[in-house]
Structures are given as C-alpha cells and as structure tokens.
A and B are shown apart, each in its own frame.
Chain A
Amino acid sequence: MNHCIVLFLQFCKFSVLCFGGGYMLIPLLTAEYVDKEQVLTMSEFGNLCSVAQVTPGPVGLNTATYVGYVNEGFFGALAASLGLIVPTILIGCSAAAGINRWKETFLVKGMLKGTRLAAVALIMFAVTIFLGMSVFTQTIPWESFGALFKLERPVLPEGFTFSPAGILICGVTVVLMLKTKLPTTALLLGAAAAGAILSAWF
C-alpha cells in the first residue's frame, strides 16, 4: 500500500515535469527506475516502451500503467495512472483555463522558453538511450568517450557493436516518416515483421 502511494507521488512528479509530450517520460523514468531504484533493466525498459508504443492509447499512459504493474501489480498500475492524470486535472481546472490570457506575461513566457529548451535536450537524450537498445547492442558507453578529451583512443567495452538489423529498421522508419504519410501503426507492424525476419539471419 505504501509503495502504491510512493508510485502515485512519483507519477504526479513526472506529470508536472512532463513538458512537451509523452516521450519526455523516457529520461524521467529511466533515471528513476533503471538508474536509481533498479527495479527494471534497460532492456526490460526497452521492451516496455515497445509494448507501450504498439498498443493503442497515448504512450505516456501505457508506460505509466506498465511501470506501475511491474512494480506493484494491479494497484500499482492504478496508482501510476492516477498519478499521471490527477495533477493535469488540477492544473487544467484551476490555472490553465486562463493561461491564454497570461501567455504574454514574463513569468509564463520565461518558464515556457526554459522548459522547452530542456525538453529538446532531454528528448535527444531519450534518443541516445534508445540508440543503445536498437542501433547498438548495448547502452552507449559515454565514460569510454572521456578518453577523447585526453586525445586517446576510446576503449569500448566488450560486446558493444552495431546491430545491422537495428540500423536498417531505424533508418527505413526515419525515411518513411519523412517521405510518406504512413500511419504509425503501419510503421510499427512493418518494423515488427522486419525484426522477426531479420532475426533469422543475424
């Protein structure tokens, strides 16, 4: 029960900090559950995001439900989902109705400017997290790149290489997203099928 309350409060925090859509949850969640509490491994987190992405519904909510379920079962899932929506309802019902009126004030403008810049940086960070689970075979070893500052050759850990299937699918997805108007569902189904077929070869 206590854990559920903790989960609820954690997700309230994520909800309030989540400027710029559901992908912002990725860095927040990995920092909390992979790095700090270690209830999930990075690859479990990756699978979780995959499930969240292919099932209907907003990615943020799917991820919250799943993380809650992995942590504390049904009530954990409930606590996490509620944590994500309660602050939104409170904000929506109090301040936000008038935010259009305050949009030009210094306080709101400054807050938006700052948080948007941070959001861009954190989404780029989320990309690097995902690159470590798809295009590369392991989390990107940033510590090794520290050697570059000393003008030495970075020593990469064993097993850190490119994954050909990952590069191919990621590249094709980017191109299709930019050049066509294919719905997300089609892209994901295609990627899943391609992954299964390519796994037979690599």
Chain B
Amino acid sequence: MEIQTLSRARRLLLLYCSFFRITALVVGGGLAMLPVIEEIFVNKYKLLTREELLDMTALTQTVPGIIAINSAVYIGMKIAGVPGAIAAAAGAVTPPFTVILIIASFFPHLDPKNRYLLGVFAGIRAAVTGMILVTGCRMFRRTVKTRLEYAVVFVFFVLAIMKVSPALLILAAIPFGWCYVWWQTRRLAQAEQAADASKNSETTSNIPEHEEGGK
C-alpha cells in the first residue's frame, strides 16, 4: 500500500487502527511491541525502513515517558504530523483503557478470601518480581560501567530506600549527569594533551597537527 496515495483522513485512521491492534494484542511492556510494529509498519505497509525503526527504538528510550506511547507518537509524527501523533497515541490508549476499566469494575465483586484467587495473584506477583529483576539487571549491565557509576547507583538506591522521593532523585540526577559528563570530557582532553606533549618531546622535528578533542 502506498502512503502517498492515501488521503489524510485515511492515514489517521490507519495509524489509529494499527496502534489499537498493537496494544490490544501485545502483553507486556513497550519493547515487546517492537516486533509487531516492525511487522505492520516496515513489512506490511512499508511506511518505515528498518533503519528508521532502529533510530526510533533508540529515541523512544531516550526521551521520558512510557516507551509504548513514545513509539506511537514518533511513528504518528513521521507519517502524518501532529494529528498523526495524536491519532496513534489515542489508538494505543483505547484498548488497555477499556480492558482495565472492565476489570476494575469487576474487581470489588471478587471474593477477597478465596484462597485460589489469592494464590493466582501471589503467583503473578512473584513472576512480575522476576521480570523486573531481569529487566533491571539488563539495564544495569548496559548502563553502569565504571566504579564511580556503581557508587552513584548504590547511593541513589540507598536514598530511595530511605524514602527520598523518587521524583526528587531523578531531578537531582540531571545536574549530576552534567557535572559527570563535563568532568569526563575534561579528563579525556587532558589525557589527549598529555599524549600530545609526550609525542612533541619525542619527535621535535615533526609537530603533530592540532586536533580538536571529541565534541
């Protein structure tokens, strides 16, 4: 299907329906949606290339917000501008919203003393614990590399346990990140200068051409 031939309204409808289908079918977090997004938008409609999808994956994990909605907004934006972003986000929200509303209105009628029902919930909670643990460890391995970073994560963790508001922690992390990156770049530049200097003293005849440190 060629997107150029579609009218604006049809494009918005297509976005709404696609994301409706995606969130209605996929159980789990935003990253679980990726294969389905690829199937629909890359393979079926050819509205995105694989490279664009990869870019988008990086982007949706960069900006704040839940990944599913981020993906919907970027794809919508790419295909039909701001109205597209809104249509895609609305499509992504509708199924979970409806399903949860139905469940939530049944919930108070469930027997809270039923032993098997409690068992079911306990089982799911235990599985969710394992899932968050695995996700967290994967994130840890990807993000935390140096000894200083280990220390910082540990301090944040202890502060969270001591009931410091998580919102405050995230906000405090931003200026810390700036200081950290500034310090890292400076250290890198210094190391480069030192390397340059030693090179200079070794080969006095040949002055190495000046190079800017990595931006």
Where the two chains meet, the residues of A that have a C-beta atom closer than 8 Å to any C-beta of B are 13, 15-23, 25-28, 31, 35, 46-47, 49-62, 65-66, 69-70, 74, 77-78, 81, 84-85, 87-89, 91-93, 96-97, 99-100, 103-104, 106-107, 109-128, 130-131, 133-135, 142, 163, 165-174, 177-178, 183-185, 187-188, 190-200
Contact = CB atoms under 8 A, between A and B. Distances in A.
A120 B82 CA distance: 32
B45 interface: no
Contact of B160 (A112, A121, A134): A121
A178 B138 CA distance: 10
Kindly list the 3 A-B residue pairs having the minimum CB-CB distance in the complex, ordered from nearest: A195-B123, A114-B177, A199-B119
A21 B61 contact: yes
A122 to B, nearest CB: 5
B127 interface: yes
Nearest to A132: B129
Interface of A, secondary structure class, is helix
Contact of B170 (A19, A52, A192): A19
A116 B33 CA distance: 22
Interface residues of B, number: 98
A60 B122 contact: no
A84 to B, nearest CB: 7
B104 A134 contact: no
Contact of A91 (B63, B117, B156, B160): B63
A187 B127 CA distance: 7
B167 A23 contact: no
B173 interface: yes
Q: Which of A46, A70, A111 has the most chain B CB atoms closer than 10 A to its own CB? A: A111
A173 B131 contact: yes
Interface of B: 23-33, 55, 59, 61-70, 73-74, 77, 82, 85-86, 89, 92-93, 95-97, 99-101, 103-105, 107, 115-136, 139-140, 143-144, 149, 152-157, 160-163, 165-167, 169-182, 185, 215
A110 B177 contact: yes
Contacts of B161: 125, 128, 142
A198 B126 CA distance: 12
A69 to B, nearest CB: 4
